[in-house]
Structure 1
Amino acid sequence: MAVRIRRKYSSATLLLCGLPLCCSLLSPAVAHAGDTIGSDGYVHVAPNGVVLGVDPYYPTDGNGGYDVGDYTVDLSYDPASRFLSAKALVTATTTQRLSRFNLDLRGLTVTAVKVNGVPASFVRAKAHELVITPVTELAADTSFTVEVVYCGRPEPEYVPGRGATGWRTTRSGGAVAAGAPHSATTWFPVNDTSVDKATFHLNATVPTGWSVASTGVRKSVHNGTHSWVEEVPVTPSATMIAIDRFAVRESTLPAGTTVLDAFGPGADTALARTLPAAMEFLTGKLGDYPLPATGGVYLQDWFYYSHPSQGRPVHGGFAGESALVQALASQWWGNHLAIKMWKDQPLVDSFARYTVWMWDEAKGGTAVEQHYQDALRRAGSDAWFWGRKLADPGMGREFSVTDKGVLMVHALRKHIGDEAFFTMLRDYPSISALLNQGWYDWELYTAAVADKDLTAFYEAWVHGTTLPPAELR
């Protein structure tokens, strides 16, 4: 019988116990003595120093050798020709000596690269690697800048089982770039891993009559240039840009959070009216909203989901109230609390989806327990339904198991009681704001807070592939 060995502690456990985190726990890559080439995939390291390796689904996501502090993207886009011209300035700090390193960028033509203001050589490799060789080797633990000038017609990326993500044109002739796992790389060079959050600045110039919505706070609109600033570090997959003939509506919530909604041509404005009440409900359950601004981009386009871009989700024409609530909840569970690897995505999605059940109950709809019992009855003992492993659903399926995951969340609530459950629901994103968490971290954290051995529960619900036993349901 195979034995799965668990880590004895995690970053979340260290915080819970009041123990200090040292910088080495956050090292983004494993650098060997004399190695001066940054890896073309982000190497994950456990808090105890054990090398976990690259993301098993997307092994070349992200890069080693540096931490990004900020992205500043200056671009112009012509909707008529669908042509983008841009310059990105990446400000970063080395984590090892670097004679060569990579950024992630899909398609588009790179015309020039500078490192610390000096022209550098570069080549393209694989589907998305921009390999950069500075004139002078970069010392370890030093700040540096990379300027990339590029242009072209951005295209979406197609992920098996997920479809198109990233840059795409809208029905009204505009463009939107949102989605996961690889949206950012379709329009600006990035260290494409969730464990390298950075601040984000955008200056986007569009023709008269067109508008730009993006992540963060809109700072100014001048001579066709729309400037946006996100000072709360964001993961690459949570950034977004939308360009269209938007009708923009601004307001302020009672708590002081600013709201900016952008409605594309033909988009229904009714969904946005749910936001104030949903925010009031979610802050009551999850704590203070972790961002200075909220709102959404509302499109007439055909997709049914809402992508939870940081601070400003993108809602398709068929998205409904449930999708909006889940996208808002993802600002806590998904953006503030970010995952380590893509196999961990069901963790945050399952809890964000559970808030939809609670929202429905709170406004006089179906009780949460009834949602749970109805879903269990529909699933029955179906081998396909229960055969999907929450801890490792497989590439392209990391977003498709929340129908099972939301059942796990309610079963956990019943198993540990409301007091412990709601403490965890509120506190875990808060203590994890500067970290990235996965299933093992969550399992250890919940066992500590509940003061209960949850091994059997998680083996059945998270790591198991059959209907959990009745005593755990």
Structure 2
Amino acid sequence: MAVRIRRTYSSTTLSLCGLSLCCSLLSPAVAHASDTIGSDGYVHVAPNGVVLGVDPYYPTDGNGGYDVGDYTIDLSYDPASRFLNAKALVTATTTQRLSRFNLDLRGLTVAAVKVNGVPASFIRAKVHELVITPVTELAADTSFTVEVVYCGRPQPEYTPGRGATGWRTTRSGGAVAAGAPHSASTWFPVNDTSADKATFHLNATVPTGWSVVSTGVRKAVHGGTHSWAEEVPVTPSATMIAVDRFTVRESTLPGGTSVLDAFAPGADPALARKLPAVMEFLTDRLGPYPLPSTGGVYLSEWLTHSHPSQGRPVHGVTADESALVQSLASQWWGNQLAIKMWKDQPMVESFARYLVWLWNEANGGLTVEQRYQDTLRRVGADPRFWGRELADPGVGREFSVTDKGVLMVHALRKHIGDDKFFMVLRDYPEIATLMNQGWHDWELFTAAVADKDLTAFHEAWVHGTTLPPAELR
């Protein structure tokens, strides 16, 4: 039975996001058949069709009913007022019939929404849901576009254990948006799940003297408009934007990869000079770099950690050589090989951190075996250290267990031997390109490469909460 929706409108005309329009107040009590409403959290499904459910840590991350193919963001930003005006064009394909669906957007004011060029009704719900009702129901397996006009002063999100992520202003008067898990939704409407990679295009206009650096390759600078394109599909949390009075340096690595480094006023360029040597080291161990461009954004302020944004990590003043190596290693283990759910984050981060150990060893530091044994002696059987389960560290602790995880990685190397270990290190990101992976997938892969039963190893190191037995250490 068709359900009629009554819309009510205020009589007040507002100047909103550069548009003059009536402010629409759609009642949230909208009824539709449940099989045509996209869920307000992304529902993960295994390749064999088994429904895994939503992310247990962030159950409303992402949305159901569609897969995004591309984001194109046109924005203008005024550093003096900290005000953003923007239009996002989301190109997607339905995975079911859709009479209603959501995008994720935190804060900001939405002025208008169009679906396939036709004005659509919308409401805001919960903390970050933009609920959209197109005039005409969308058929399954059909390409469609969503245009969202919005504006406001973007704000960061504060995540336990991570501090501020997403859009924040900088001491130099600029702004940067980077970090996980919820950076993207602080500045553009997005299907905010790592399971939905998409290409990304940005046209950002800023006042004279300011520059914009983003994910991908810089395509053009016309006046105050800076255009960027990332044609390699990227997870939302791996996108970034930075606005500042940057000094930009471009170069090319011996293999042909372009490098673009951007330095905010007062930033030290010394760390960036180490990038060519690090990239040579990583490509030797991990294979060809999976992106056309690399580099970094170097800020003159304190960050809790470097953000491994795709192709262009963001570093603060405390970033050191280890941070540079880990953020670049994350381009393979973290961006090319992307996780399914946030409980899987320690899987990729532990391997990226192990590459720091390998780098330090190759450059005259402790051998990885000595570092491993020293750490085991230091932590002993401390339940505070071993009681954290790698496969399920808990919400807000996704990034807090890699000190245990890096030990697991070296223990795996000892357990299966160098030849098979370095096959895992090199091949897993490559075969998983555009395929999100979780702990279960990794366990199957390592066992297949090792050609042995690794159940005891995985139970002790990945799922265990006590010191693993001596024979597995």
TM-score (norm 2): 0.93
Q: Which residue of 2 aligns with 1:68?
A: 68
Q: Post-superposition shift, 1:263?
A: 0.3
Superposed CA deviations along residues 117-171 of structure 1, whole A, max 9, x for unmatched, are 0000000000000000000000000100000000000000112232211000011
The amino acid that maps onto 1:37 is I
How far residue 115 of structure 1 moved from its aligned partner, in angstroms, is 0.3
Whose RCO is larger (CA < 8 A, sep 6+)?
A: 1
CA shift at 1:50, angstroms? 1.5
Do the aligned residues in 2 keep the contact of 1:157 with 1:166 (CA within 8 Å)?
yes
**Residue in 2 that maps onto 1:398:** 398
Q: Aligned residue for 2:291?
A: 291
Provide the rounded CA distance (Å) in 1 between the counterparts of 2:109 and 2:60. 20
Does structure 1 retain, via aligned residues, the 8 Å contact 2:163–2:304? no
CA contact (8 A) 1:43 1:51 kept: yes
Extract structure 1 runs of 4+ deviating beyond 3 A: none
Deviation at 1:434, TM superposition (A): 1.8
Q: For residue 446 of structure 2, what is the amino acid of its counterpart?
A: T
Confirm or deny that 1:360 pairs with 2:365. Answer: no
Match of 2:175 in 1: 175
SS at match of 2:233: strand
Alignment partner, residue 14 of structure 2: none
Which residue of the partner structure matches residue 314 of structure 1?
A: 314
- What residue in structure 2 maps to residue 212 of structure 1? 212
Task: State the partner residue of 1:192.
Answer: 192
Mapped to 1, the partners of 2:461 and 2:269 lie a distance apart of 39
SS at match of 2:195: coil
Matches within 5 A, 1:91-106: 91-106=91-106
Which structure has the larger Rg over C-alpha atoms? 2
Q: CA separation in 2, counterparts of 1:281 and 1:75?
A: 38
Equivalent residue of 2:266, what SS?
Answer: coil
Between the aligned partners of 2:313 and 2:212, the Cα distance in structure 1 is 14
Structure 1: state its 5+ residue gaps: 1-32
Deviations 1:1-23 (A, max 9, x none): xxxxxxxxxxxxxxxxxxxxxxx
Secondary structure of 1:437's counterpart equals coil
Paired with 1:126 and 1:442, the residues of 2 have a C-alpha distance of 34
Q: Which residue of 1 aligns with 2:116?
A: 116
Aligned partners of 1:143 and 1:52: how far apart in 2?
25
Which residue number in structure 1 is paired with residue 254 of structure 2?
254
Q: Distance in 2 between matches of 1:293 and 1:374?
A: 37
What is the CA–CA distance in structure 2 between the aligned matches of 1:185 and 1:292, rounded to whole Å? 25
Deviations 1:99-118 (A, max 9, x none): 00000000000000000000
Displacement after TM superposition at 1:276 (Å): 0.1
1:438 deviates by 0.5
Task: State the SS of the aligned residue for 1:39.
Answer: coil
Q: SS state of the match for residue 36, structure 2?
A: coil
Q: CA deviation at 1:46?
A: 1.4
Give the Cα–Cα distance (whole angstroms) in 2 for the partners of residues 395 and 213 of structure 1.
31
The code of the aligned residue for 2:346 comes to P
CA offsets, 1:208-235, max 9 Å, x none? 1100100000001111000000000000
Distance in 2 (CA, whole Å) between partners of 1:214 and 1:165 is 16
For structure 2, the residue ranges without an aligned partner over 5 or more in a row are: 1-32
Q: Hey, what's the Cα distance between the residues in 1 that align with 2:399 and 2:315?
A: 17
Q: d(CA) in 1 for partners of 2:189 and 2:95? A: 19
- Distance, in Å, in 1 between the alignment partners of 2:445 and 2:163 is 34
1:191 deviation in Å? Answer: 0.2
Distance in 2 (alpha carbons) for counterparts of 1:233 and 1:460: 35
- What is the alpha-carbon distance in structure 1 between the residues aligned to residue 316 and residue 162 of structure 2? 16
Tell me how large the CA RMSD over aligned residues is: 1.0
The answer for the alignment partner of 1:29 in structure 2 is none
Is the partner of 1:338 in helix, strand or coil? Answer: coil
Q: Tell me which amino acid in the other structure corresponds to 1:437.
A: Q
The residue identity in structure 1 corresponding to 2:404 is K
Quote the Cα distance in structure 2 between the aligned partners of 1:175 and 1:162.
18
Asked if the contact 2:102–2:130 (Cα under 8 Å) also holds between the matched residues in 1, the reply is yes
User: SS in structure 2 opposite 1:131?
Assistant: strand
Structure 1, residues 159-212: CA drift from partner, whole Å, max 9, x if none? 223221100001101000000000000000000000100000000000011001
In 2, Cα distance between equivalents of 1:64 and 1:77 = 31
CA distance in 1, matches of 2:121, 2:160: 33
How far 1:373 sits from its partner (Å)?
Answer: 1.0
Native 8 Å contact 1:246 1:262 kept in 2: yes
Conserved in 2, the CA contact under 8 Å of 1:304 and 1:317?
A: no
| TM-aligned CA deviation for residue 34 of structure 1 | 6.8
Alignment partners' CA distance in 1, 2:391 and 2:385:
14
Q: Distance in 2 between matches of 1:328 and 1:378?
A: 29
Quick one: distance in 1 between partners of 2:50 and 2:304? 41
Tell whether the 8 Å contact from 2:162 to 2:304 is kept in structure 1 after alignment: no
How many corresponding residue pairs? 442
- Indicate the residue corresponding to 1:466 in structure 2: 466
Aligned equivalents of 2:247 and 2:163: distance in 1?
29
1:25 corresponds to: none
Which residue number corresponds to residue 53 of structure 2?
A: 53
Task: Give the C-alpha shift of residue 381 in structure 1.
Answer: 1.1
